[in-house]
Amino acid sequence: MPALPFLDDLPRFLFFTGKGGVGKTSLACATAVRLAEQGRRILLTSTDPASNVGQVFGVTIGNTVTPVPAVPGLDALEIDPQQAAEAYRGAIIDPVRDLLPAAEVAAMTEQLSGACTTEIASFNEFTSLLADESTTTAYDHVLFDTAPTGHTIRLLRLPGEWTSYLSDGKGDVSCLGPVAGLDRLRHDYAGALGALTDPARTRLVLVTRPQRSSLREAARTFEELRDLGMTNAHLVVNGVMPSYAVTTGPADELALAVGSREQEALAAVPDAVAALPRTTLPLLAHDTVGVPALRELLDPDETPHPSPLPEIVSPPRGFTDLRRLVDDLEGDGHGLVMCMGKGGVGKTTVAAAMALELASRGHEVLLTTTDPAAHLDDTLEGGVEHLTVERIDPRVAIGAYRERVMASKGKALDDAGRAVLAEDLKSPCTDEVAVFQQFSHVVFRARKQFVVLDTAPTGHTLLLLDATGSYHREITRQMSEGATFVTPLMRLQDPARTKVVIVTLPETTPVLEAQELQDDLARAGISPWAWVVNASLTAAAPTSPFLRARARTEAAPLASVARLCRRVAVLPLLAHEPVGAAALSQLTRPIAQPPLPPARSHP
């Protein structure tokens, strides 16, 4: 059994965070099971807008504390952004609904319908668990399964940002809506900040994979959170290829290469996290879904898999490759390609590979990202002809937005008025407005060239689309009848202008999450153009018994994908990380055999 130093001398609060796809949810759930089975009372809380804690345990978990039947002593809570926002709006509007004219109630409702309100509402529930310990007094430990890195850093900055804003700001707090009880909010935020920065009460568990990019992300995360005052941190390296996977059975180039690059990455852990207490967990031959699998994550069975070799099931009929998707895209000559999905599924890699292939064919291509944790330059490792790489940097966007507002709205104000406006622009809600404006500009540029957009993980992207919808509704109200106009949302809804590509992994939970994303997009009037299943062992056809056992778990998820979309590309897991133009170009190589005719499936 591996040593588990991250569980030694536990404080009351544990935060599991890291880059998407590193196994935060699995590790948080496994830790909750282990502690509960030791007789402790545990509350497992997800702050990820795309939470899948319920799927891991096979129970429905929502915005209320729910017992996990299979694990006595364990309760779970998924902070649902939409439910939280609805309750938040109701608490503000219901008391005055019968006292104000209908037009004013409608205006309040619209004011409280944006992404900023959703974030604040979710955050208020999160802070109550930290600031008011009476709400969790029945539990020995409270575990937080957080959103992917960029969204989590944004969330954890909020206690300090709102505390400072409410304490120092003298401007209009309109982005909060007509909120009552700011003193209570100030107290809650200050209490949450105190809990987060107290090493006796809170431990940060940085979850990573044995990969260069993931370890670098863990180091960047720790540096940013350390600046916020969170110093009690442990590093957990999850999913390390077990030694027997390489040494048992016939030689497998893929297994050897993956094992070798993992060891090289672990030998060069970034300085920022090298000195942290470290726990290493092996990769399992199966998905970590269900209580038995969660137990094995922290107490793995390292018995080699017996011969004969497990058979590999071929991908479903009709699956294609990434090159053929680019062939279909190229015919339009321009347009927006949005790669969407949960963190860690390879959106950045797929976006970079598609952009690189289009540029290699002579098209002018803009490759950009809305993901605060994305690093396109690291993926490309150098410039490419016809390819421009940019990033929607929230800090740059916020600064530019504030300057524009001060130069326009502030131009006619006196010194006192400008001071009030400047204070109002310090609101954390300014961030979403600023990023939305840059996002809108990128959408507009796709009229004349290819724009490949690597989006933030699902939850953050849905907040951005919420802002896009709010803007569309506002413009629609303001335009006179019969006027012609095109909003960013209308461009996203037009399949001739925008191709949405959902990226996922051939695993049960990522596919379920991608299906939920497709359903969310449908409610916004957006239909995915294609799916990409990344890092498939089935497509790689390994000979290692361990990797073949892993590959067999892909059969059911791949069959589900075939039912969800007519156009699907499947990419093999590569022996070497797809970093740099040469490696990325391997993802758009033509397949050896042409695909079979597509099976009948749902659009």
Which residues are annotated as catalytic? 21, 23-26, 48, 509
Q: How crowded is residue 99: how many other Cβ atoms within 10 Å of its Cβ?
A: 8
| Joined tokens for residue 255 | 């297994």
Whole-number Å distance between alpha carbons of 67 and 53:
12
Q: Is the CB of residue 280 less than 8 Å from the CB of residue 243?
A: no
CA-nearest of 456, 440, 435 to 336 is 440
Q: How crowded is residue 104: how many other Cβ atoms within 10 Å of its Cβ?
A: 11
Alpha helix segments (H runs only) across 24-114: 24-37, 53-57, 81-93, 102-111
Instruction: Answer left, alpha or beta for residue 283, where phi above 0 means left and psi between -120 and 50 means alpha.
Output: beta
Alpha helix segments (H runs only) across 451-601: 458-478, 488-493, 508-523, 537-540, 545-552, 555-564, 581-585
CA-nearest of 435, 381, 440, 388 to 581 is 381
Whole-number Å distance between alpha carbons of 469 and 444:
16
Residue 455 dihedral angles phi and psi, to the nearest 5°: -85, 165
CA-nearest of 299, 360, 343 to 152 is 343
The span from the first CA to the last CA of the chain, in angstroms, equals: 47
SS3 457: coil
Whole-number Å distance between alpha carbons of 521 and 504:
15
Q: Is the CB of residue 600 less than 8 Å from the CB of residue 334?
A: no
Q: Write the DSSP symbol of residue 19.
A: S
Measure Cα distances from 577 to 80, 247, 509, 574 in Å. 35, 22, 23, 7
Q: Is the CB of residue 320 less than 8 Å from the CB of residue 569?
A: yes
Residue 258 dihedral angles phi and psi, to the nearest 5°: -65, -45
Residue 223 dihedral angles phi and psi, to the nearest 5°: -60, -40
